[in-house]
Amino acid sequence: MNNEIKSFFEENSIEGMDMNTEIESFFEKNSIEGIVFDLDNTLIDTGTWLIFMYKRFATEIVPYINRTYNLTIETDDFAQAYHQAEVAQYYNNGSVNFITRFPSTLSWITTSLNLNIDQEDILKRFTPNIAEIYTLSPDPFDGTLELLHTLLSFTKVAICTHSGKDWTKIKTDSLKSRYRKLYKNIPDIYSYYVDINKPKNTSEWIKAANTTNSTPEKLIAVGDNFDADILPAVEAGYKYIIWLSLYDNDKEQDIKELKKQGVKIAIIKDIRELEKTLTSNQPFGDI
Q: By C-beta, is 40 or 204 nearer to Mg ion?
A: 40
Gap between the Cα atoms of 48 and 139, Å rounded: 9
Give the residue with the Cβ less far from Mg ion, 16 or 47: 47
Nearest alpha carbon to residue 169 among 156, 183, 179, 159 = 159
Within 183-242, the residues that bind Mg ion by CB under 5 A are 224-225
Number of residues that bind Mg ion (CB under 5 A): 5
45 near Mg ion, judged by CB under 5 A? no
* Minimum distance, C-beta of residue 155 to Mg ion, in the bound complex (Å): 21
Q: Using an 8 Å Cβ cutoff, are 286 and 259 in contact? A: yes
For residue 173, CA distances in Å to 140, 152, 179, 196, 271 come to 12, 17, 10, 19, 20
**Which residue of 40, 45, 204, 275 would you call a contact of Mg ion, by CB under 5 A?**
40
Q: Please select the residue that binds Mg ion; options are 23, 34, 36, 41, rule is CB under 5 A.
A: 41
* Strand order through the sheet with 240-244: 189-193, 156-161, 34-37, 219-223, 240-244, 265-268
Stretch near Mg ion under the rule CB under 5 A, chosen from 1-9, 37-45, 55-63, 103-111: 37-45
Give the residue with the Cβ less far from Mg ion, 9 or 240. Answer: 240
Q: Which is nearer to Mg ion, 137 or 225 (CB)?
A: 225
- C-alpha angle 255-198-47 in degrees, rounded to nearest 5: 60
Are the CB atoms for 209 and 219 separated by under 8 Å?
yes
Look up residue 275 and give its amino acid: E
Q: Which is nearer to Mg ion, 34 or 138 (CB)?
A: 138
| Shortest Å distance, C-beta 100 to Mg ion | 19
Tell me if 38 contacts Mg ion by CB under 5 A: yes
CB of 40 to Mg ion, least distance (A): 4
In the complex, what is the shortest distance from the CB of residue 179 to Mg ion, in angstroms, rounded to a whole number? Answer: 19
Give 274's Cβ-side CA count (13 Å radius).
30
Which listed range, 19-27, 38-46, 207-215, 265-273, lies at the site for Mg ion (CB under 5 A)? 38-46
What whole-number distance in Å separates Cα of residue 16 and Cα of residue 3? 15
State the residues that interact with Mg ion by CB under 5 A.
38, 40-41, 224-225
